[in-house]
């Protein structure tokens, strides 16, 4: 028995992250810690690695109780953790990063370090050039550096947090081979994961956590995917979300063959194709970092995509032109292209007419569109999308770093979307202020008033302000990434309710979520993605959690499972 | 001695002022702190050294001791200033630019107040030749290559060696690049920041003393030290944050700066007086070009330390 | 350095955390206390530096009284105080839009200096050949253009290649200095490099020679306050400064904003240069900006980049400056004393910001407040 945890409990404020967890780790085994996002896997491991300190409970190593207060303490007990976010100095070589902070006997000699690194790499079958700079490395190489960093410090217990999240299938195979060799060498390996196939492939035993509690530790050989899924997600919880049948859903956003690569050259979106309908909530499910953020940012015009199309479809045929969505300049241009007709069906031309005349004709409602509008949003900036008259709202994952400005007050944050309004250079704060007051009132934001700095609000209230603003923009498409993350139950329901109201008003809502129960109860359809590719689109009314859980870990696409 | 050779040696000697200033600044910047207080620190180093020499210049102490005590005086004053900067920016996480500029205002002012109280005959005339060992008394510019000149070269080389060849240097650079990572592997970030700032300030302070006592050896010399401080900060960019490169860079700067006054004395070169300011402008223009080119080429090794100018606060991790 | 066993590591004695908020009253209390402490420290420093005080320590009262006398004892001093405060404030205001955008413009000195140079160049070449009002207008245009040019060069490189603007603008100061030396050599054939007062291109007197400058800066303060807080441009500046990602999210072209704002910042420094050239000096020297480009950074930062608050901080600095000048006169010390005094007081104010932004918790007795709280 290498390591034992007894009754480990950790709270963050009122949230119970780990609830009296008992766990044993044997020498020379690979133990998988399995659980959904937010079940407390990483928190639990962080307590062994010295990042957090448990509120209650004991940690025993080789049968003796130990106190681990810092990563350094952990190293002294031969425990090392490879975090999801690498801690490396980009400018340094692999060897320099590995030796950083290690206190060794004798003079520092880079050559010795390099040869020791080589030795470790060869022993376990890593492929690594110790002299290569981190900034030249792929994610997989960086991970290798992190693992060797831990081995170099003599760790016997290695904890890897979601090690495969960022790797290609080939790299995963290689990593697993290395892990097996380390196991044979007598090391204990703990991998945190929520991918069932990997658990089955590499682990000897698997410990399942759910909502902070240790459910069971079982031998992997006795398990299969459906048994594990059942233990991981538990019974379906019925949520009281009022879901109406979509009323005359029409295609609104048609995404086809979307491809995107990250700055490091890794493909983060692979041939994504889907349609979001107006009057419907389309859920996006997937393990964290499967490309959700990149997909939404590509649609919002924040990421230049490589190929594919994002078509905004606007059924306008025989509907009146308004200045709400089209500027005078745009109306003139469209008229010149012959895009309008009048009530009698004759083409409308504004040739030689004054602005006032045109305005009068348009406002009387007699100018109608000839056909539906189709606009490709691909690689248009957010400003261009807006200038096309498309109301696309986006509630990003990073609320205070992107969606809102933390150091500005609520009114000024309202203006982010609308400040350009008005012909002159001055800001109009009256409208935004009224809007802020309305949102505070209707969404019950608890704040002294609209002049409160957003940073001072609680998480739930911050999100209400952000979602409220995006909805006030009268969107045709509303995208929300993890809109209830970190929110209490009450605030979460406020958000669900708002999304439902938008759906009923005919908006195409795209909801990226992590809680499968919520996705199943709120959405009409759920698109599951894994590794940047769509693995299936299911009907949320008939699908089960197990079904989605399987899709989340699958690599090939299963065509339109029971599409409604 | 050939006037050209004389000129070259003079430029080399002048350059030592910048070697001190920029080596000190590089050490500080490598810890992630842009110290705009260097001009003030150099002035204070000069004043501190002179203050000590003013007390012992006429004493019967052996020259070696006098020189050592003078250097210690410069180190003490400069490091005191560095200590103020480090306390404010490291411990109190104050804005580095504002703190540095204030330190320069303070240091330049205080050094002037101190210097006017000193007796040139005691601190300068009677000690100058001790500092100019081994070439004291020569009539050509070789006399300028004294103790502090050679110390400057040594300091630059040793600093480079420490920064790029030792574990301490590796840790220091890690602190300046990514303090969060350094902290996570158990490096004491605060300690490294303090040490780098203090040692860097001490080194820079010697530049002030060298300029006043050895290179210029004149009563009014202390008034120009501030300008050399700013030039030293420019030289850091020129040297691409490598102390040994400051030796070359400072010689180039020295040549450009002295060239103006030199060529007007060479009868066969016809230049107008207006050329001189343009020549003196060159070091700064070249520095700007280096800054631009290195940002366009975007070679990672030639960039300022990644966390330069940012305070480190662990809870933000 | 290393503690051998795990239990050897203790929680540090003090634990810091960012304050969520602080009441303005408390914040100003802390700043006020810092200024008082700073002045107290000045008194201590004075005993070290001023012989007259060492001989007769009872004169310490006079020492502090000189701060008042320096600016308020005669109407001439008062006007000087107001005018100098105005010019310092003008430069500080000019730098503020850039700072709000987190663009560290350390080039106020050079931008002001080329403003002076531009204005004086026009006066030098055209003075007496065209009507005075036209000359003054052309001088203004030259000053604004020169300043804007000096500001926009680093901005273009920062916007395009991310070139470090702190170091770039800093270097531009010295290019400006030697540009002035160059023109002085050309304009003054005697070799004295001293241009002397020009006959033409002097701002008209309103009541006295200072009031017009003061009024212009008052108007500028109000104008900039409005620009920063009530216009779309000002709003964009704040958004870019707070978060580039947010700016991109709502479709602000941050490069455009950087360039536009630095044109403004540089031009306003040029305006300060114009006030110095046409309003006060009527000549140019390498010291025409007199270090105020640097002091302006301090004024702007101390004033929290708020133009109205900067009136106070500029006045405080100028008060210390003239007061300490008075002291060096009264007590016979070197005229560099004001810098020492300003430095000491600023050290305390800079340090006090820490106590406004952070809370200090001392280790409580009993068990650890989870070692991990510190890590997120």
> Shortest CB distance from B113 goes to which of C291, C337, C376?
C337
Highest-scoring range by mean pLDDT, A320-324, B100-104, C165-169: B100-104
pLDDT confidence tier of residue B179, bands split at 50, 70 and 90: very high
Q: Is the distance from CB of A72 to CB of A50 less than 8 angstroms?
A: yes
| Residues of B in Cβ contact (< 8 Å) with C3 | none
Measured between beta carbons, which residues in chain C are less than 8 angstroms from residue B231? 174
* pLDDT given for residue A102 in this prediction: 87
Tell me, yes or no, if C371 comes closer than 8 A to chain B by beta carbon.
no
CB-CB neighbors (< 8 A) of B314 in chain C: 374-375
DSSP A165: T
- The pLDDT tens digits of the residues spanning A218-254 come to 999 998 877 887 888 776 555 677 888 887 788 899 9
Each residue of B247-301: pLDDT tens digit? Answer: 999 999 888 888 877 776 666 666 677 788 888 898 899 889 988 998 888 788 8
Quote the CA–CA distance of A543 and A541 in Å, as a whole number. 6
In chain C, whose CA is at the least distance from the CA of B88? C351
Q: What is the rounded distance in angstroms from the CA atom of residue A451 to the CA atom of residue A433?
A: 9
> Smallest Cα–Cα separation from A232: which of A251, A247, A218, A250?
A218
Domains detected in chain C: 77-329 (1.10.3470)
Q: How far apart are CA A277 and CA A275, in angstroms?
A: 6
- Tell me how far apart the alpha carbons of residues B65 and B77 are, in angstroms, rounded to a whole number: 18
Q: Give the chain A residue nearest B186 (alpha carbons).
A: A101
Search chain A and give the residue with CA nearest B178. Answer: A89
Answer whether A3-233 and A250-315+377-553 agree in fold.
yes
Is B98–C164 a contact, with Cβ atoms under 8 angstroms apart? no
Q: Supply the pLDDT for residue B1.
A: 62
Q: What are the tokens at A406?
A: 């933390």
Query: How far apart are the C-alpha atoms of B160 and B247, rounded to whole Å?
Result: 11
Nearest-Cα distance to chain C for A33, in Å, is 21
pLDDT for position A320:
80
Q: Does C285 touch chain B (CB under 8 A)?
A: no
Which member of C106, C343, C353 has the closest CB to residue B106?
Answer: C343
B167 touching chain A per CB within 8 A? yes
CATH superfamily entry for domain A3-233: P-loop containing nucleotide triphosphate hydrolases (3.40.50.300)
Measured between beta carbons, the chain B residues lying within 8 angstroms of A100 are 170-171, 174, 181-182, 185, 187
The answer to whether residue C7 neighbours chain A at the CB level (below 8 Å) is yes
The tens digit of pLDDT for each residue in A128-164 reads: 999 999 988 888 899 999 999 999 999 999 999 988 8
Are the C-beta atoms of C276 and C121 separated by less than 8 Å? no
Bridge partners of residue A79, in order along the sequence = A157
Quote the mean pLDDT of chain C: 89
Residues with Cβ < 8 Å from B26, sequence gap 6 or more?
A: B159, B163, B200, B236, B239, B241, B242, B243, B246
Q: Residues of C with CB below 8 A from B88's CB?
A: 347, 350-351
Higher pLDDT, B80 or A304: B80
Has domain A250-315+377-553 been given CATH number 3.40.1190.20?
Answer: no
Those chains having 3 or more beta-carbon pairs within 8 angstroms of chain C are: A, B
Specify the residue for token string 């320096």: C70
Structure-token pair, residue C275: 């006030």
Whole-angstrom distance, CA of residue C313 vs CA of residue C304: 10
Give the pLDDT confidence score for residue A236 in this predicted structure.
56
User: What would the pLDDT profile of C96-144 be if each residue is shown by its tens digit?
Assistant: 999 999 999 999 999 999 999 999 999 999 988 999 999 999 999 999 9
Contact (Cβ atoms closer than 8 angstroms) between residue C93 and residue C314: no
pLDDT band of residue B2 (cuts 50, 70, 90) is confident
pLDDT at A131: 93
Question: Please, which chains are in contact with B (at least 3 CB pairs closer than 8 A)?
Answer: A, C
Does the pLDDT at position A12 exceed 90?
no
pLDDT digits (tens, 9 = 90+) for A40-91: 888 899 999 888 888 899 999 988 999 988 888 888 899 999 988 888 999 9
Confidence of residue C35 (pLDDT cuts 50, 70, 90): very high
The complex scores an ipTM of 0.93
Domains and CATH numbers, chain B: 10-311 (1.10.3470)
**Which residue from B230, B157, B194 is spatially nearest to B28, judged by alpha carbons?**
B194
**Who among C49, C166, C291 is closest to B113 (CB)?**
C49
Chain C residues inside the 8 Å CB shell of A73: 6, 9
User: Residues near A127 by Cβ (< 8 Å), separated by ≥ 6?
Assistant: A121, A144, A174
Radius of gyration of chain A (CA): 27
Q: What does the radius of gyration of chain B's CA atoms come to, in whole angstroms?
A: 20
Task: Decide if B300 touches A, using CB distance below 8 A.
Answer: yes
Model pLDDT, residue A109: 87
Parallel, antiparallel, or unpaired: how do β-strands A280-285 and A508-512 relate? parallel
For chain B, how long is the longest CA-to-CA vector?
Answer: 66
Interface test with A, best of C1, C6, C241 (most A CBs within 10 A): C6
Q: Note the pLDDT of residue B294.
A: 87
Residues of A in contact with C242 (CB under 8 A): 405-408
**Chain C residues within 8 A of B114 when measuring between CB atoms:** 49
Q: Is A473 helix (H, G, I), strand (E, B) or coil?
A: coil
Assign A325 a pLDDT band (cuts: 50, 70, 90). Answer: low
Where are any strands of DSSP class E within chain B?
A: none
Question: Would you call A419 helix, strand, or coil by DSSP?
Answer: coil
pLDDT at B26 over 70: yes
Q: Does B139 touch chain A (CB under 8 A)?
A: no
- Closest CA of chain B from A58, distance in Å: 24
For chain B positions 118-157, those within 8 Å of chain C (CB to CB) are none
Give the predicted TM-score (pTM) of the model: 0.86
Model pLDDT, residue A459: 79
At B53, which helix (H) or strand (E)?
helix B38-56
Q: Is residue A194 pLDDT above 80, yes or no?
A: no
Contacting residues for A558 by C-beta, under 8 A, at least 6 apart: A535, A536, A551
Contacts of A52 in chain C (CB under 8 A): 370-372, 375
Hey, of C372, C374, C375, which one would you mutate to test binding to chain A, going by the most A CBs within 10 A of its CB? C372
Domain ranges for chain A, please list them: 3-233, 250-315+377-553, 316-371
Q: Sign of dihedral through CA atoms C263, C225, C351, B209?
A: positive
* Alpha-carbon gap: B263 to the closest alpha carbon of chain A (Å): 44
Q: How far is B202 from chain A (nearest CA, A)?
A: 26
């Amino acid at each position: 028995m290498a390591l034992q945890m007894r009754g480990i409990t950790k709270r963050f404020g009122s949230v119970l992250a780990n609830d009296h967890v008992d766990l044993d780790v044997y020498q020379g085994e690979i133990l998988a810690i399995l659980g959904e996002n937010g079940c407390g896997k990483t928190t639990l491991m962080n307590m062994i690695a010295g990042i957090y300190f448990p509120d209650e409970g004991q940690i025993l190593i080789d049968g003796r109780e130990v106190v681990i207060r810092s990563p350094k303490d952990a190293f002294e007990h031969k425990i090392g953790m490879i975090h999801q976010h690498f801690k490396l100095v980009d400018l340094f070589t692999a060897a320099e990063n590995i030796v950083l902070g290690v206190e060794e006997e004798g003079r520092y000699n880079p050559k010795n370090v390099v040869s020791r690194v080589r030795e470790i790499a060869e022993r376990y079958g890593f492929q690594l050039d110790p002299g290569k700079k981190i900034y030249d490395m792929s994610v997989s190489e960086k991970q290798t550096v992190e693992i060797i960093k831990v081995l170099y410090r003599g760790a016997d217990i290695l904890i890897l947090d979601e090690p495969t999240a960022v790797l290609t299938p080939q790299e995963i195979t290689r990593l697993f081979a290395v892990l097996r060799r380390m196991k044979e060498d007598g090391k204990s390996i703990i991998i945190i994961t929520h991918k069932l196939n990997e658990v089955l492939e590499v682990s000897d035993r698997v410990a399942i956590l759910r909502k902070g509690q240790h459910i069971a530790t079982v031998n992997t050989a006795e398990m299969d995917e459906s048994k594990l899924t059942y233990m991981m997600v538990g019974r379906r919880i019925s949520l009281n979300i009022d879901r109406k049948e979509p009323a005359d859903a029409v295609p609104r956003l048609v995404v086809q063959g979307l491809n995107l690569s990250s700055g490091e050259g890794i493909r983060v979106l692979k041939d994504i194709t889907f349609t979001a309908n107006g009057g419907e909530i389309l859920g996006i499910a997937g393990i964290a970092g499967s490309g959700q953020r990149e997909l939404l940012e590509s649609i919002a015009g924040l990421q230049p995509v490589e190929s594919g199309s994002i078509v905004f479809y606007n059924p306008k045929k025989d509907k009146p032109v308004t200045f709400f969505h089209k500027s005078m300049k745009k109306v003139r241009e469209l008229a010149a292209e012959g895009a309008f007709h009048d009530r009698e069906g004759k083409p409308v031309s504004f040739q030689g007419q004054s602005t006032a005349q045109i305005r009068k004709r348009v406002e009387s409602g007699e100018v109608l569109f000839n056909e539906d509008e189709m606009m490709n949003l691909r690689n248009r900036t957010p400003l261009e999308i807006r200038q096309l008259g498309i109301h696309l709202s986006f509630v990003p994952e990073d609320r205070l770093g992107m969606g809102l400005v933390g150091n500005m007050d609520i009114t000024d944050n309202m203006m982010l979307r609308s400040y350009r309004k008005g012909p002159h250079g001055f800001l109009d704060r009256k409208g935004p202020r009224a809007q802020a007051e309305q949102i505070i009132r209707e969404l019950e934001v608890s704040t002294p008033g609209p002049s409160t700095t957003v940073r001072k609000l609680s998480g739930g209230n911050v999100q209400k302000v952000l979602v409220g603003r995006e909805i006030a923009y009268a969107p045709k498409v509303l995208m929300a990434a993890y809109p209830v993350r970190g929110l209490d139950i009450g605030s979460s329901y406020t958000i669900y309710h708002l999304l439902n109201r938008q759906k009923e008003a005919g908006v195409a809502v795209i909801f990226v979520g992590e809680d499968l129960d919520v996705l199943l109860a709120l959405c009409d359809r759920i698109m599951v993605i894994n590794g940047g590719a769509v693995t299936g689109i299911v009907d949320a009314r008939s699908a089960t959690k197990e079904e989605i859980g399987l899709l989340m870990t699958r690599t090939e696409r299963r065509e339109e499972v029971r599409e409604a | 001695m050939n006037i050209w050779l004389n000129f070259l040696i003079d430029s080399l000697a002048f350059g030592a002022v910048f070697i001190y200033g920029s080596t000190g600044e590089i050490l500080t910047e490598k810890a992630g702190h842009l110290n705009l207080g260097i001009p003030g620190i150099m002035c204070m180093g000069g004043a501190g050294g002179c203050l000590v020499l003013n007390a012992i210049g006429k004493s019967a102490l052996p020259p070696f001791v006098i020189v050592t005590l003078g250097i210690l005086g410069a180190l003490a004053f400069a490091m005191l200033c560095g200590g103020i900067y480090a306390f404010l920016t490291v411990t109190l996480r104050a804005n580095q630019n504002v703190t540095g500029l204030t330190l320069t205002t303070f240091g330049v002012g205080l050094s002037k107040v101190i210097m006017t109280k000193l007796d040139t005959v005691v601190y300068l005339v009677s000690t100058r030749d001790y500092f100019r060992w081994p070439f004291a008394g020569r009539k050509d510019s070789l006399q300028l290559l004294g103790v502090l000149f050679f110390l400057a070269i040594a300091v630059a080389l040793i600093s480079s060696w420490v920064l790029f060849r030792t574990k301490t240097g590796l840790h220091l650079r890690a602190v300046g690049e990514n303090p969060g990572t350094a902290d996570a592997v158990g490096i004491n970030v605060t300690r490294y920041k303090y040490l780098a700032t203090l040692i860097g300030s001490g080194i820079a302070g010697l530049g002030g003393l060298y300029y006043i006592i050895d290179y210029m050896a004149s009563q009014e010399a202390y008034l120009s030290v501030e300008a050399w401080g700013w030039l030293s900060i420019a030289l850091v960019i020129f040297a691409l944050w490598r102390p040994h490169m400051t030796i070359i860079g400072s010689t180039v700067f020295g040549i450009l700066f002295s060239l103006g006054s030199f060529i007007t004395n060479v009868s066969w070169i016809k230049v107008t007086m207006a050329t001189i300011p343009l020549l003196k402008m060159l070091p700064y223009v070249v520095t700007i070009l280096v800054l631009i080119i290195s940002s366009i080429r975007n070679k990672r090794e030639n960039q300022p330390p990644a966390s330069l100018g940012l305070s480190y606060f662990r809870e933000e991790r | 350095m290393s503690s051998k066993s795990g239990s050897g590591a203790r929680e540090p004695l003090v634990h810091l955390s960012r304050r969520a908020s602080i009441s303005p009253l408390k914040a100003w209390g802390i700043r006020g206390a810092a200024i008082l402490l700073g002045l107290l420290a000045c008194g201590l420093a004075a005993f070290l530096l001023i012989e007259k005080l060492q001989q007769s320590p009872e004169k310490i009262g006079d020492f502090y009284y000189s701060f008042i006398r320096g600016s308020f004892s005669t109407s001439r001093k008062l006007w000087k105080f107001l005018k100098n405060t105005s010019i310092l404030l003008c430069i500080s205001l000019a730098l503020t839009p850039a700072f709000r955008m987190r663009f560290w413009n350390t080039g106020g000195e050079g931008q002001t200096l080329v403003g002076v140079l531009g204005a004086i160049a026009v006066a030098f070449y055209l003075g007496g050949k065209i009507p005075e009002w036209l000359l003054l207008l052309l001088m203004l245009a030259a000053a604004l253009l020169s300043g804007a040019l000096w500001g926009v060069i680093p901005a273009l490189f920062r916007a395009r290649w991310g070139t470090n603007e702190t170091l770039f603008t800093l270097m531009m100061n010295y290019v400006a200095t030697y540009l002035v030396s160059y023109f002085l050599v050309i304009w003054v054939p005697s070799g004295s490099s001293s241009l002397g007062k020009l006959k033409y291109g002097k701002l008209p007197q309103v009541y006295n020679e200072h009031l017009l400058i003061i009024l212009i800066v008052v108007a500028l303060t109000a104008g900039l306050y409005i620009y920063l807080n009530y216009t779309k441009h000002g709003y964009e500046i704040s958004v870019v400064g707070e978060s580039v990602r947010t700016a991109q999210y709502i479709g602000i072209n941050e490069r455009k904003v950087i360039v536009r704002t630095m044109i403004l910042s540089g031009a306003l420094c040029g305006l300060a240069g114009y006030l110095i050239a046409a309003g006060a000096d009527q000549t140019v020297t390498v010291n025409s900006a007199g270090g105020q480009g640097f002091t302006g950074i301090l004024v702007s930062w101390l004033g929290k980049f708020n133009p109205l608050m900067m009136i106070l901080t500029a006045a405080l600095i100028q008060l210390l400056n003239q007061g300490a000048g008075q002291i060096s006169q009264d007590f016979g010390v070197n005229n560099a004393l004001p810098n020492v005094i300003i430095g000491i007081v600023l050290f305390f104010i800079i340090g006090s910001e820490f106590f406004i932004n952070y809370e200090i918790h001392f280790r409580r007795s009993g068990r650890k407040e989870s070692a991990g709280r510190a890590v997120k």
